[in-house]
Structure formats: structure tokens, C-alpha cells
Amino acid sequence: MAEIYTRSQATQQAERVSGENPFPVFVSGDIMPPVAGFTVTREVEVPGAVQNAAYESGDAFGTMITFANVFRLEKPSGCIVGAYFIDYDDEGVQKDLVLFTHPFTGTADNAAFAVGDVDARNCKGALVIDSFVDCGGFRVGREDNVNMWINAASVNLYAQLITRGADNLTTGSIPPRIAIIVVPD
């Protein structure tokens, strides 16, 4: 029967692999280890987006969004792998989804997006949703292959949208929806 040995790169010492000394597996902190079959999608209505408001590029689109329970309680971290925006008003205007690990003082809907210095420390990045598919009476924008690693403060993730064009939600339109797709750690 063959014996297996492993050699430490740091010390160059060889050790026999056994039940007491199992074969070591190292995972880089830069690479998200996949959790087989466990992807979380959280889709919510964009809160605070007002009908008949004339938005300009750079305005907050809605108010603070809470994506509830995207991470595990025992380890609130994971990899955001995608996001999508459902535009029932059929405009297809680019949206930036700015992500935070803590609740923050959001910008009022339809005002120039600005976050204070204290809240900015909890910002983990932004996703750009700029590719829309026209589905007849509505549009769906998606951002895929994101691979943004997040170490959060809780099981929730927080965000706010910024519009990059002249949105105008018409009277009686269905409120838009936003979603993130996460592989929890």
C-alpha cells in the first residue's frame, strides 16, 4: 500500500497523510469556495420610488433597500454573483446599485445621491445594471459574473439605487423591483 506525504512550503518538512493528519486543503481568501446548490436570490420592490417624478441622472431612485437574510447567521459573508432590475415602466435606464453592510442614512428619493462620511465607511461597492432586454411591456436589466466578496455585519445587506438617466414612473405603473443573487459563505 502506498503512503502519501505532503510537504510544507514554509518549512519544507514532509508529513505522512493519515486520519490524524489529513491531507491539508488551503483556500485562498481571494477565491469564494462554492457552496453546492445554495444560492440566495432576494427580490424586493424598490422602496420610495415615486410615480410622476422627473428623475435626473445621478438622482437616488427610491430609498434605502434592505435585502433580508442573504447571509448565514453563523457566518455573515458571501459572494454576490449577480443582480437584476425589473423595469415595469419599460424605460431601461441604467441603474447603479450601491451596497452597504450596515443600515445607512439614505438619500431622499429623486435627490442627488450623496452619502455621509460615516456611512461611506460601510460601502462595499456598486453594481452597474446597464444591459436591458426589452420584454414587450417591460424591461429586465441584469448584471452577471460579479463575484463581489462581502463580509457583512449581519445576515442583511443594504443598498440604494442611483439612476443614470431621465426616469419618469408613470401614474399607475407597477413599482420596479431589484434583486441580488448571493452564494453565502
pLDDT tens digits, 100-131: 999 999 999 999 999 999 999 999 999 999 99
- For the chain, the helix, strand and coil percentages under 3-state DSSP, each to the nearest 5: 0, 45, 55
Residue 157 has φ and ψ, to the nearest 5°, of: -130, 145
Which of helix, strand or coil describes residue 119?
Answer: helix
Let me know: does 78 contact 185? Beta carbons within 8 Å: yes
- Does the domain formed by 30-184 have CATH 2.60.120? yes
pLDDT tens digits, 29-80: 444 444 555 889 999 999 999 888 889 999 999 999 999 999 989 999 999 9
Rounded Cα gap, residues 73 and 143, in angstroms: 26
Mean pLDDT of 133-160: 94
Q: In this predicted structure, what is the pLDDT of residue 172?
A: 79
**Residue percentage of the chain with pLDDT more than 70:** 80
Best mean pLDDT range from 18-22, 68-72, 86-90, 95-99 = 95-99
Neighbours of 117 (CB within 10 A): 6
Nearest CA to 55 out of 150, 169, 180, 184 is that of 169
Half-sphere exposure of residue 133: CA atoms within 13 angstroms, side-chain side: 6
Label residue 9 by pLDDT band (50, 70, 90). Answer: low
pLDDT tens digits, 43-53: 999 999 988 88
Domain ranges of the chain: 30-184
